[in-house]
Amino acid sequence: MCQTRVLSVPSAKAPFEKTTIERRALRPHDVLIDIQFSGICHSDIHSAFDEWGGGIFPMVPGHEIAGIVSAVGTEVTKFAVGDRVGVGCFVDSCGECEYCLKGEEQYCTKGFVATYNALDYDGNPTYGGYSQKIVVTERFVVRIPDSLELNVASPLLCAGITTYSPLKHWNAGPGKKVAIVGMGGLGHLAIQYAHALGAEVTVLSRSIDKKEEALSFGADHYFATSDPATFKTLASQFDLILNTVSANLDVDAYLSLLRIDGTLVNVGAPAEPDKYQVFSLIMGRRSIAGSLVGGIRETQEMLDFSAEHGIAPKIEVIRADQVDEAYQRVLRSDVRYRFVIDVSTL
């Protein structure tokens, strides 16, 4: 067992406290990671505020983890002390079901073990990356390419894979018109991936404020959704719309922007149900879909792709005592575009 300092919330919406927890003793396939940076995902806020229900408190959020291996179990083969590594949204899965065998552990039929706010297969609560150390079985650890700084790499472990995976799955690429809705942590990476994959990329953001930056990330077009003319101008244009918004949208309005056979893929995860008219689908053989992060193999592919294409989040590094304020700023969309905690300040 080893002690580690963490940032923890004792109950829903309570302020963060600096406390200490114990990480398990290394099992044969475990690695001990000295965490250096931990990104703040909007899912951390949904969870720490218990907006999705079922929150396990005290909670240590954080699933965008970047650090250095500091010890390895006796049977570890993938990693050695000193390796630069990352951990994302889950830390275990059955390893035997159809989806685990395909490398899509996020859809494990037994249910994956989330990095925090979950119980592991032994029934112990999991605690995430707002922490100085974490113990993770090697199967759920990925390698961070040398050309990516650890602070910039950390948001890729959730925001990166959550946008890369559906863009690949729904074939964003040359000849495809793709819209990215919402330009926050996920959205600003989605623009970069869709552009690198060769699609024609349109950003749909509430205001015109982020236009110049969207174009610098590789967007071809940018429209403000606060302007009703946008929905007329762009009617029936897109093959794929990736919705990264943390709140409910007027789904019918976005469906009207799809071509025949187009798909609206939701990665944004609002707490309340969406409403839409079935006719918005029927009249254009359109689909509504969702996508959950991505598997471990694809996460490694995404990191390597990011390094190769120079894709990186724009980050603001903060101290541990700034996390409460950072949450409020994310809720006000006052973040350009991801907060990353410097864990050495814990």
Which residues are near ligand NAP by CB under 6 A?
Answer: 41-43, 46, 158-159, 162, 182-187, 205-206, 210, 244-247, 267-269, 291-293, 330, 333, 335
Q: Which is nearer to Zn ion, 90 or 238 (CB)?
A: 90
Among 4, 8, 38, 43, binds Zn ion (CB under 5 A): 43
Least distance (Å) from ligand NAP to the CB of residue 260? 26
Q: Which is nearer to ligand NAP, 22 or 212 (CB)?
A: 212
Q: Which is nearer to Zn ion, 158 or 315 (CB)?
A: 158
Least distance (Å) from ligand NAP to the CB of residue 333? 4
Q: 257: closest CA among 290, 223, 274, 233?
A: 233
Q: Which residue has the tokens 């819209």?
A: 179
Residue nearest to Zn ion (CB): 41
Buried/exposed 90-126: b ≥16 CB within 10 Å, e otherwise: bbbbbeebebbeeebbbebeeebbbbbbbeeeeeeeb
Instruction: For residue 241, give every residue at least 6 positions away whose Cβ sits within 8 Å of its Cβ, in sequence order, or none.
Output: 178, 179, 181, 254, 257, 258, 262, 263, 264, 265
Per CB under 5 A, 137 contacts Zn ion = no
Q: Which is nearer to ligand NAP, 206 or 309 (CB)?
A: 206
Least distance (Å) from ligand NAP to the CB of residue 302? 13
Q: Which is nearer to ligand NAP, 79 or 112 (CB)?
A: 112
Q: Which is nearer to ligand NAP, 183 or 255 (CB)?
A: 183
Residue-by-residue DSSP string for 5-52 = EEEEBSSTTPPPEEEEEEEPPPPTTEEEEEEEEEE--HHHHHHHTTSS
Least distance (Å) from ligand NAP to the CB of residue 194? 15
Per CB under 5 A, 41 contacts Zn ion = yes
Q: Are strands 30-39 and 338-342 parallel, antiparallel or unpaired?
A: antiparallel
Sign of the alpha-carbon dihedral angle for 315, 318, 323, 329: negative
Least distance (Å) from Zn ion to the CB of residue 55? 15
Per CB under 5 A, 118 contacts Zn ion = no
Least distance (Å) from Zn ion to the CB of residue 265? 16
Report which residue type is found at 211. K
* Residue 268: contacted member of ligand NAP, Zn ion, none (CB under 5 to 8 Å, by partner type): ligand NAP
Nearest-angstrom CA–CA distance, 154 and 38: 6
Tokens (6 digits) for 325: 């304020």
Strands (E), the chain: 2-8, 17-23, 30-39, 65-72, 84-87, 90-92, 113-114, 133-137, 142-143, 177-181, 200-205, 221-224, 238-243, 258-266, 287-290, 315-318, 338-342
Least distance (Å) from ligand NAP to the CB of residue 197? 19
Least distance (Å) from Zn ion to the CB of residue 43? 4
Q: Which is nearer to ligand NAP, 62 or 185 (CB)?
A: 185
Site string for Zn ion, 150-179 (x = CB under 5 A): --------x---------------------
Q: Which is nearer to ligand NAP, 23 or 210 (CB)?
A: 210
Residue nearest to ligand NAP (CB): 184
Segment lying near Zn ion (by CB under 5 A), choices 35-43, 115-123, 177-185, 268-276:
35-43
Least distance (Å) from Zn ion to the CB of residue 185? 8
The DSSP output letter for 136 is E
Is residue 202 within 8 Å of residue 194, measured between CB atoms? no
* Residue 286: contacted member of ligand NAP, Zn ion, none (CB under 5 to 8 Å, by partner type): none
Nearest-angstrom CA–CA distance, 212 and 34: 37
Tokens (6 digits) for 38: 């931990």
Which residues contact Zn ion by CB under 5 A? 41, 43, 158
